[in-house]
Structure 1
Amino acid sequence: MSATALATWTVVALLGVMTPGIDTVLVLRHTIVGGGRSGLAAVGGIAAGCLVWAVASLAGLAALLAASTLAYDIVRIAGAVYLVWLGLSAIWKTLPRHRTEGGGVDALDAPGVSARVALRAGFFTNLLNPKVGVFYISLLPQFLPVGPAATAWGIVLVAIHLGVTFLWYPALIALAARARGVLLRGRVRAWMERVTAVVLIGVGVRLATTP
C-alpha cells in the first residue's frame, strides 16, 4: 500500500471522527453529566462498536448487510428504537420527581451516567447503526491492495481509525470537562439533558424513517 493511500485514509478517518454526529453528542453528554471517566467509557464503547463492524467487514460479513434489505432494516430499526429509548430515558431523569431529595435542581440523579452505562450506550449506538457498517464495507475495501496482504493492511487501516478516535475524543472530553462546572448548575443541567435527549430522539426518528 502506498504512502498516499495511507495519508488519504488518515484524512478520511479524521474527518469522519471529527464531524459532529451522534457519537459527539454521546461523548459530550456523558462527560458533562457523568464526568471524564464516563466520557472516556463512551469513547471505548464507540470504538468497540466500530471494531465489530470492521472485523465483520474484513471477514466479508458486512457484505450480507449491504446485500440484504431486510437485514439492513432490522439493524436500522433496532438502532432507531435504542436511540429513542436513550432520549426518553434522559428526559425521564430530568423530571422533578427523579431529582435527589434536598439537592434541588443542582442534583439530578446520577443513574444512567455511570461509566458502565456510557460504555454500553457508545457500543450499542454504533453496533446498531447500519451506516457504520456500510461505511466500512463501502470505503475500507477501496484502500486495500489486491492479494493476500489485504487483511493485514485492513487491520492497519482499522487501527488508524481507532487511533484517531482515541486522540480526538479525549481532547474533546478535556474541553467539555472545563465547562462541566458551569453546565451542571441548576436548570442549565436539566435543559442540557433535555436538548441532548431531543437530539437523540431526532436522530432515532430520522434513522427509522430514512432508509
Structure 2
Amino acid sequence: MTLTAALLAYVLAASLLTVTPGVDTALILRTAALEGPKRAAMAALGINAGCLLWGAAVALGLGALLAASELAFNILKWSGAAYLLWLGLQMLLKPRSEFSLTSTAEEERHGQLGWFIKGLLGNLLNPKVGVFYVSFLPQFVPAGYPVGSFSFALACIHVLLGLFWAAALILATRPLATFLRRGGLVQWLDRATGSVLLVFAAGLALAKR
C-alpha cells in the first residue's frame, strides 16, 4: 500500500467512524444545545485531547498493554463505566428546570473547564479507544514507515476530523437556542442525554477485549 493510498483509505474509514453516533456525539450535542457553543467546544477539545493522548500511548506501546492484559483492561473499563454512570445519573435524576443564555464570567470559566475535563475523562477512561487504536491504526501504516510515529500521525488526523465534526454539530444546534428557554424541554434533553449515557455505561461495562 502506497502512502497516498493508505492516507486516503484511512481518512475515509476514520471519517465514517467519526460521524457514527456515540457518547461523544451525545455530550457535544447536549452541551451545545443547553450550555452554549463555548462550553460545547471545550467538551469537544477534551474529547479529542483524550484521543490524542491515547494515540501517544499507542505510539509508545502502552496501548498494547490493554490488548494483552485483561486486568489492565478491566480496571480501566470499570472506571470508565462508573464515570459514565455518574454523569448519566446526574442528568437523569437532577435535570435543570431552566436554561439561561447569559452567565457570569466566573460561571463561564468554571463551566468551560468542567466540560473539558468531562470530555477528557470520558475518553481516557474508555479502554476501547486504546484497544481500537492499537488494532486499527497499524492497518494503515505503509510498508517501510515506522509503526509508532506513523500511528500517532494517524491519530492526529482522527483528532482533526473529530474537531471538524464537533464544530459542525455545535453550529447545527446553535439555532435551537431560542427554544431552550422552555423548562420542560430542558428537563427532557437532560434526561434523554442521561439515559443515553447510562446505555453507554452498560455497554462499556459489558465490553470485552
Name the TM-score, length of structure 1 as normaliser: 0.88
CA contact (8 A) 1:91 1:193 kept: yes
Structure 1 residue 146: deviation in Å?
4.5
| Structure-2 residue corresponding to 1:49 | 50
Q: Where does residue 115 of structure 1 map in the other structure?
A: 112
Shift of residue 91 of structure 1? 2.6
- 2:103 is equivalent to residue 106 of structure 1: no
Alpha-carbon RMSD: 2.1
Q: Show the 5 A alignment for 1:62-211.
A: 62-94=63-95, 105-107=97-99, 114-147=111-144, 149-211=146-208
Return the alpha-carbon distance in structure 1 between the equivalents of residues 94 and 112 of structure 2.
Answer: 17
Letter paired with 1:82: Y
**Secondary structure of the residue that 2:94 maps to in structure 1?**
helix
Q: Partner of 1:29 in structure 2? A: 30
Write the deviation string for residues 59-96 of structure 1: whole angstroms up to 9, x where unpaired: 111101100011111111100000000011113432xx
Tell me by how many angstroms 1:152 deviates: 3.9
Structure 2 CA distance for aligned equivalents of residues 69 and 127 of structure 1: 17
> What displacement does 1:154 show?
2.7
Partner SS for 1:114:
helix
2:84 counterpart letter in structure 1:
L
In structure 1, the gaps of 5 or more residues are: 100-104
Q: Is the 8 A contact 1:126 1:132 kept in 2?
A: yes
- Does the Cα contact within 8 Å between 2:93 and 2:191 map onto a contact in 1? no
| Identity score, percent | 40
| Contact kept? 1:33, 1:184, Cα under 8 Å | no
Indicate conservation of the 8 Å contact 1:83/1:125, yes or no. yes
Q: Is the 8 A contact 1:78 1:128 kept in 2?
A: yes
Which runs of 5 or more residues in structure 2 are unaligned?
none
Distance 1:5 1:18, change over 3 A: same
Distance 2:64 2:152 in 1: 17
CA distance in 2, matches of 1:173, 1:18: 13
Q: CA deviation at 1:107?
A: 4.5
**What is the rounded CA distance, in whole Å, between the counterparts of 2:92 and 2:147 in structure 1?**
46
In structure 2, relative to structure 1, the CA distance for the partners of 1:32 and 1:61 (3 Å cut) is same
Which shows bigger deviation, 63-72 or 140-149?
140-149
Q: Is the 8 A contact 2:66 2:72 kept in 1?
A: yes
